[in-house]
Amino acid sequence: MATAATNWLGQSIERVEDAALLTGRGRFIDDLGVRPGTLYAAILRSPHAHAAIRAIRADAAKALPGVAAVVTGAEVRALSSSLAVGVKAPIECWPIAVDRVRYVGEPVAVAVAADRYLAEDALDLIEVDYEPLPAVIDPLAALDPASPMLHEGLRSNIASDRSFRYGDPERAFAEAARKVSVSVRYPRNSCTPIETYGLVAEYDPSEDAYDVTANFMGPFSLHPVMARALKVPGNRLRLRTPPDSGGSFGVKQGIFPYIVLIGVAARAAGRPVKWIEDRLEHLTASVSATNRVTKLDAAVDADGRIRALAYDQIEDVGAHIRAPEPATLYRMHGNLTGAYDIKNLSVRNRVVLTNKTPTGLNRGFGGPQMYYPLERLVQRIAIELSLDPVEVIRRNLVPAEAFPFETASGGLLDSGDYARAIEGAVVDGGLAELRARRDEARRQGRLYGIGFATVVEPSVSNMGYITTVLSPEERRRAGPKNGAQATATIALDPGGAVSVHVASVPQGQGHRTVAAQIVADALGLDPKNIRVIADFDSARDAWSIASGNYSSRFAAAVGGAVHLAAIRLKTRLARVAATQLNVQPGEIEFASGRVRARGNPDNALPFNRVAATSHWSPGSVPDDAQALRETVFWTAPELTPPTDADEINSSLCHGFIFDFCGVEIDRVTAAVRVDKYVTMHDCGRVLHPAMVAGQITGGFAQALGAALYEEYAYSPDGNFLAGTFADYLLPTTNEVPTPLLLRIETPSPFTPLGAKGVGEGNCMSTPVCIANAVADALGANALDLPLTPSKLAAFVHGKEKDRPSSAGTQAAKGARALHGEGETKVSASPEQVWAMLLDVDTLATIIPGAHAVEKVSDKKFRADVTIGVGPVKGRYRAEIKLSDLDPPRAVSLSGSATGALGFGSGKGRITLSPEGSGTRISYGYDAEIGGKIAAIGGRLLDGAARMIIRQFFAALARRAGRAAQSGFFARIRLLFRRRP
Amino acid sequence: MPRLSADARHRIRARINGRAIEAEAEPRMLLTDFLRHVLGLTGTHIGCEHGVCGACTVEIDGRLARACLTLAPQIEGSEIRTVEGLAPSPDRLSVLQEAFRRHHALQCGFCTAGILVSLDHYLARTPDPSESEIREFLGGHLCRCTGYVPIVAAALNAAKKLREAKPHA
Ligand code: FES
Ligand code: FES
């Protein structure tokens, strides 16, 4: 049969998605109508990193008009079962805290009400008694058997510890000329889509079935996980996605526990329930990439050839091993040797639990964490051996003639010409000019550096790679897991119009456009005439566990399945047409909307006419040529399960990236400016060049953020400190330069169209490329992301104070603590002041924001106060205890406050000394703040605390008969101080 | 502004995209929720609800504003433009929208409404901006998909087309 000339693929046609999105007619989850009677959920979350829940009092919340239900761990436990966990251990993972909270932001209660505003009102009325427990934040600390344990069922905080050995690494290390090592702490971050999570869930008791619409992105291997948790068979959990989704980058995989949680809430409330996550919830508690501590050693010959690698990786998955974790640690397993031909490899992989948000998919998924040490190491090898880094890279590359190349750990690199790609980048990217520019900058005394990164970008994950975490014995017992079914359906309607359905759940990647191009080429049509549906319905669509939009699988796998379905349909249509045109099926060709005899274009029929035949006249079509609807399931035979030697081809395709960049570091501010960035890609055959470019520039910008600005920072006690976009800094137009994109094409022999994935590569290559350039500029060795000015200032001008980090340890202990001291003068005598400090009525008038002060005992007060920090005002219950009373000279106060916005605790001492006719009051305090207020108000807290305390003493002074001596000037000073 | 009572709904009258509207809202309702869920104008998106991302940007009486930081009753008597009001007709795109489509300046399209409203406003007042001016101006919008490169290109291209269409401007 003739293949029509390809002409749509490879063109950057305009996207069919765009007209609606540009005019405000997109249909995102929060744009869809809901059934009448739908209720709205708001979630109360833990302000503590680790605490036992002693009691939850929700009566007042339930009594609020408009509130339908309050759901807590007890209800969830009664109506569902624990989510499956990715390691073999007797531990549970609930979508809401059950008796204990293990991270800040963990759901504690769900209020369901007539609208979102009322549901949030209800949260304010729920009282929770927590008993704080010690928390472990740093992954290395979690290795210690004495660290506070998160899950007793594991008997430690180490969820998995596996070692792997390929080739003969010990011998290679013994024989090698040198050993070069790097140690890296990769931080926590996230790709934070601009649209947050959202879903509507409904439970039908008559059929014991759930119906959920959520902006979930797959993988649908989580569908059975959710169905099991909801205690229904898969066919009673109907899961749908809206037509549009506002970005995901892996992150929207993490909505799945909420599908279970809100499903249960809908069942408890007896009505459909809708929940839209807010940004604070998203940053605090949706999902994060893993942070990882890696020690990587290389056995190296004198000429820079790497003989062996030894990885020691400690993966921090947060407070629960939520499916599909610990997949982040294993996704790169088949390509741990990167673009290099390294025969010997040893790996130790440990997975630890800490009191932080559970981790999950995030663009790059395991790649950033692995390539950062690997490519830092390659730079170190060059430096230690006094070689050109590009030369070290070249000497170790997998040679072009070796493809498909089997890596030490079992990966099968499908195609490539790495040396040619690097040559192209060096020449077309202007490396020589960049080097001259660096030399010139350095001559002028500027801090300028060049970095390189070489990455093999895996795509189309083997669903079996995750089982590499199990021992061969455990795998045998569990049964084989492998492959990655991609699906596509093409249907012809009675008018001969073509519809396509893919279960690829796009979040802006233009799948509908590219699927139309693929079908148009196969059937000789214009893509405009093909309608593609990409929203998903588990009850109606063809799907499998690999469905969804992750591991950059669309172009390579789903696009391939669309192509195969189109070809199948075309084969049948050719037979239909052959009878009508009176030629052999092999003579039929499809072009320009017509089906015609090759060599005789006049002997032709309109495509629609042929395509409608099986509807209107099935009797005239042979049974095996009926052309109505074609569904293809496609998986690649190369995706085999792990072998008994733990070899795993973790991904089907392997693109190639070579990046280099020039950066300059400001000598005064220590800020990094990316002066030039070149990124060379080989992603196989390119189906839509503009979309490939979009994936690269988009991934590059996210990676730039990860390199320079973004971090999910925690205080050492586990408070989350990056709860707004003013704290978690995404790069804007002003920070993101335009990278130079270069490309070569070596088509994949393993995919139907020769395409490979391209979406994630720069998240793997760019952070380390920039870090290598910064290291080059500063002559630095150890460098951890993000490369913030405060971190680099240590290199530029000597050591400065560290800022909090995702490991929680680089910061000084108590980093989120507030300290302060001061003094004021009042005109009353020490005895009078003393009496005022102990008098409830006086306190009620001088404590800022106090509604009521109650004396519980002689030395104990309870107060209800409203405190505002920046724009955030909240009501707190405070308890204050007096101790070490030395009337009328000194008293110590300690106290705590809790409220919907978080908690605080502190202690202080007040000293009174007579001065003239009045009293000098001196005070000092230490306080710690946690919960929402720490996450969103961090930058404002010190100023706010000072302000409140000054207000207190100013009121005291006023009350004592005269304004505080320095009151006016203090207020003036305040105006000029502590600008956040 | 008139005194409002917290627990009552209040009637709000305004003009949105050239049409008079009249609807009720509690004083605490955000303009984003009012536009989206009371009036059904779901093109205005919510990315952060704290004024940083720019997804909710609308024009109120000729000035750009964050709808997420505006309360619904504040628009009483105002003239509002949202993304739904940018196209000349339902089946045609504006010059700016067309430039976005041609340059692939959107992927998921979630940030896009705010960026279009801002740029539409800006280009009407700054017909010949430089690339760095556009970058500076767009610094108040977050896009997580595109890396901004095609957005800046589309804005420059739209500015050029708009200038060509109005030779005397
Ligand atoms: S939603 Fe208004 S600025 Fe982000
Ligand atoms: S296009 Fe997705 S956030 Fe901008």
For residue B118, give the nearest of B101, B146, B102, B137 by alpha carbon.
B137
Residue from A194, A248, A697, A725 whose mutation best tests the ligand 2 pocket (most atoms within 8 A of CB): A194
**What pLDDT does residue A345 have?**
98
The domain limits of chain B are 10-85, 95-165
Nearest ligand atom owner, CA of B111: 2
| CATH 3.30.530.20 fits domain A818-966 | yes
Beta-strand runs (E) in A571-712: 588-591, 594-597, 600-606, 629-634, 651-665, 672-682
Give the pLDDT confidence score for residue A808 in this predicted structure.
Answer: 54
Can you tell me the mean pLDDT for B45-68? Answer: 98
| Each residue's pLDDT tens digit, A924-973 | 888 888 887 787 766 677 777 777 778 888 888 888 764 344 444 444 44
pLDDT higher than threshold 80 for residue A39? yes
A24 to chain B: nearest residue by CA? B43
pLDDT at A698: 98
Q: Which of A15, A279, A726 sits opposite B49 (nearest CB)?
A: A279
pLDDT above 60: residue A813: no
Ligand 2 atom with the smallest distance to the CA of B106 is: 1
Distance from CA of B64 to the nearest CA of A (A): 17
B-chain residues near A725 (CB < 8 A): 48, 50, 52-53, 142
Q: Is any atom of ligand 2 closer than 6 Å to the C-beta of B110? A: yes
B52, B108, B138, best to mutate for ligand 2 pocket (most atoms within 8 Å of CB): B108
Which of B93, B116, B148 lies closest to A701 in CB terms?
B148
Q: For residue A520, how many other CB atoms are within 10 A of its CB? A: 24
What is the SS3 assignment for A754? coil
A708-755 confidence digits (pLDDT tens): 999 999 999 999 999 999 999 999 999 999 999 999 999 999 999 999
Q: Give me the mean pLDDT over the A595-614 stretch.
A: 96
Cβ contacts of residue A771 below 8 Å, gap of 6+? A372, A376, A451, A707, A783, A785, A787
CB contact under 8 A, B83 and A24: yes
Q: Return the ∠ at Cα B82 (arms to B81 and B83), rounded to 5°.
A: 135
Instruction: State the nearest Cα–Cα gap between A724 and chain B, in angstroms.
Output: 8
Mean pLDDT of B47-75: 97
* Partner residue facing A730 (CB), from B84, B136, B142: B142
Q: What is the dihedral of CA A548, A551, A555, A557, to 10 degrees?
A: -70
Q: What is the pLDDT of residue B168?
A: 59
Fold match between domain A142-189+288-467+640-795 and domain A485-534+543-634: yes
B58 within 8 A of B65, measured Cβ to Cβ: yes
Q: Quick: pLDDT tens for A259-287.
A: 999 999 999 999 999 999 999 999 999 99
Pick the residue of A194, A286, A511 with the most B CBs within 10 A to test the interface with B by mutation. Answer: A194
Residue A640: pLDDT over 60: yes
Does A772 score more than 70 pLDDT? Answer: yes
Q: B145 CA to chain A: closest CA distance, Å?
A: 5
Predicted local distance difference test score (pLDDT) of residue A965: 41
Residues A671-681 pLDDT 10s: 999 999 999 99
Neighbours of B109 (CB within 10 A): 30
Lowest mean pLDDT among A508-522, A568-582, A785-799: A785-799
Q: Is B123 on the interface with A (CB under 8 A)?
A: no
Does the beta carbon of B16 lie under 8 angstroms from any beta carbon of chain A?
Answer: no
Mutate to test the pocket of ligand 1, among B66, B70, B138, B144 (most ligand atoms within 8 A of CB): B66
* B110/A195 Cβ within 8 A: yes
Q: Which residues lie closer than 8 Å to A75 by C-beta, 6 or more apart?
A: A264, A268
Sequential DSSP letters for A103-128: STT-EEEEEEESSHHHHHHHHHT-EE
Residue A924's pLDDT is what? 86
Query: What is the best residue among B33, B42, B52 to mutate for testing ligand 1's pocket, by most ligand atoms within 8 Å of CB?
Result: B52
The pLDDT assigned to A96 comes to 98
CB proximity under 8 Å: B 71-110 to A: 82-84, 86-87, 90, 93, 97, 100-102, 104, 106-110
pLDDT value, residue A980: 37
| CATH number, domain A485-534+543-634, options 3.40.190.290, 3.30.450.270, 3.30.365.10, 3.90.110.10 | 3.30.365.10
CB atoms within 10 A of CB A875: 15
For residue B116, which residues of chain A lie inside 8 Å, CB to CB?
Answer: 22
Contacts of B115 in chain A (CB under 8 A): none
B134 CB neighbours in chain A (<8 A) are 733
Closest B-chain CA to A739: B149
Q: In a 10 Å sphere around its CB, with 0-12 CB exposed, 13-18 middle and 19+ buried, how is residue A174 labelled?
A: exposed
Q: Is the ipTM of this complex over 0.85?
A: yes
Q: Does A903 have pLDDT greater than 90?
A: no
Tell whether the torsion through CA atoms of A463, A465, A469 and A471 is positive or negative. positive
What does the alpha-carbon distance between residue A121 and residue A138 come to, in Å, rounded to a whole number?
35
Question: Looking at the predicted structure, is the pLDDT value of residue A564 above 90?
Answer: yes
Does residue B143 line the site of ligand 1, with CB under 6 A? Answer: no
Residue range A852-882, pLDDT digits in tens: 888 888 888 888 888 777 666 777 888 888 8
Contact A506, A245 (CB under 8 A): yes
- The structure tokens listed for B12 are 């709000």
Instruction: Note the pLDDT of residue B167.
Output: 66
- A25 and B43 within 8 Å at the Cβ level: the answer is yes
CB distance B142 to ligand 1 below 6 Å:
no
Q: Which ligand sits closest to the CA of B47?
A: 1
Q: How far is B110 from chain A (nearest CA, A)?
A: 5
Test B46 with A247 for CB contact under 8 angstroms.
no
Report residue B1's pLDDT band, with 50, 70 and 90 as the boundaries: low
Are A247 and B110 a contacting pair at CB < 8 A? Answer: yes
Hey, are the CB atoms on A30 and B42 less than 8 Å from each other?
Answer: yes
B52 contacts chain A (CB < 8 A): yes
* Ligand 2 and B108: CB distance under 6 A: yes
Q: Is the CB of A943 under 6 A from ligand 2?
A: no
CATH number of this structure's domain B10-85, picked from the four choices 3.30.2320.80, 1.10.287.110, 3.10.20.30, 3.40.50.970: 3.10.20.30
Q: Which of A23, A696, A726 sits opposite B84 (nearest CB)?
A: A23
Whether A199 has a pLDDT exceeding 70, the answer reads yes
Q: Which of the ligands is closest to the CA of residue B104?
A: 2
Residue A536 has pLDDT above 60, yes or no: yes
Atom of ligand 2 lying closest to residue A193 CA: 3
Residue B31 in contact with ligand 1 by CB distance below 6 A = no
Spatial CA neighbour of A196 closest among B34, B50, B59: B50
Is residue B150 within 6 Å of ligand 1 at its C-beta?
A: no
Identify which of A260, A256, A317 has the alpha carbon closest to the alpha carbon of residue A289. A317
Quick check: A607 and A593 in contact, CB under 8 A? yes
- The count of other CB atoms within 10 Å of the CB of residue A480 is 12
Q: Is B66 on the interface with A (CB under 8 A)?
A: no
Average pLDDT of span A909-932: 86
Looking at domain A32-133+191-286, what is its CATH homologous superfamily? Aldehyde oxidase/xanthine dehydrogenase, a/b hammerhead (3.90.1170.50)
Report the alpha-carbon distance of residue A218 to residue A544 in Å, rounded.
10
- Per-residue pLDDT at A799: 64
Three-state secondary structure call for residue A568: helix
Amino acid A835: pLDDT: 86
Residues of chain A contacting residue B83, judged by C-beta atoms under 8 Å apart: 22-24
Q: Is any ligand 2 atom within 6 A of the Cβ of residue B113?
A: no
Q: Please indicate whether residue B53, judged by its CB atom, sits closer than 6 Å to ligand 1.
A: yes
What's the rounded Cα separation, in Å, for the pair A461 and A456?
A: 14
pLDDT at site A807:
61
- Looking at residue A816, what is its pLDDT? 59
Among the bound ligands, name the one nearest to the CA of residue B143. Answer: 2
Exposed, middle or buried: residue A942 (CB in 10 Å: 0-12, 13-18, 19+)?
A: middle
For A428-455, what is the mean pLDDT?
Answer: 98
Atom of ligand 1 nearest to the CA of B53: 4
Q: What pLDDT score was predicted for residue A805? A: 66
**How far apart, in Å, are the Cα atoms of A814 and each of A142, A342, A711, A731, A929?**
19, 44, 18, 29, 10
- Whether residue B57 contacts residue B141, with contact meaning beta carbons closer than 8 Å, is answered with yes
Q: Does domain B95-165 correspond to CATH entry 1.10.150.120? A: yes
Q: What is the pLDDT of residue A452?
A: 98
CATH topology for the A142-189+288-467+640-795 domain: Aldehyde Oxidoreductase; domain 4 (3.30.365)
Q: What is the DSSP string of A188-222?
A: P-----SS--EEEEEEETTTTEEEEEE-----TTH
* The pTM of the whole model exceeds 0.90: yes
Cβ A772 vs Cβ A375: under 8 Å? yes
Kindly write down the DSSP assignment for every residue of A920-976, as one continuous string: EEEEEEEEEEESHHHHHHGGGHHHHHHHHHHHHHHHHHHHTTS--TTHHHHHHHHHH
pLDDT score of A695: 98
Residue A976 confidence (pLDDT): 46
